């Protein structure tokens, strides 16, 4: 397993993000498309919350700033 800590962005996926955004923009113009869902996990860039924030920023959507991913022990 290449990534073992998921607390910050570790992989540059800018090319893939740009490609995804172009595809979503194209889909948005289709009258047959009502909703577009994008699922992001930690393995994409190393920190899913920040990956989502990057997407939201690119689509001019509101986002929440995450300092780091919570650990189970943070709740005890």
pLDDT confidence of residue 68: 66
Q: For the stretch 21-36, what's the b/e string if a residue is b when 16 or more beta carbons lie within 10 angstroms of its beta carbon?
A: eeeeeeeeeeeeeeee
pLDDT confidence of residue 39: 93
41 lies in a domain? Answer: no
pLDDT confidence of residue 69: 65
Name the domain count of the chain.
1
71 lies in a domain? Answer: yes
Task: Give me the mean pLDDT over the 47-67 stretch.
Answer: 86
Report pLDDT digits (tens) over 3-45: 677 777 888 888 999 999 999 999 999 999 999 999 998 888 8
| Between 69 and 63, the higher pLDDT residue | 63
24 lies in a domain? Answer: no
62 lies in a domain? Answer: yes
Indicate left, alpha or beta for 71 from its phi (over 0: left) and psi (-120 to 50: alpha).
Answer: beta
Range of the domain at 54: 49-76
């Amino acid at each position: 397993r290449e990534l073992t800590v998921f607390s910050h962005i570790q992989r540059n996926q800018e090319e893939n993000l740009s490609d995804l955004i172009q595809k979503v923009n194209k889909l948005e113009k289709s009258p047959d498309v009502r909703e577009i869902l994008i699922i992001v996990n930690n393995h994409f860039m190393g920190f899913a919350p920040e990956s989502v924030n990057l997407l939201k920023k690119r689509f001019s959507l509101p986002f929440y700033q995450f300092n780091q991913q919570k650990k189970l022990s943070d709740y005890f």
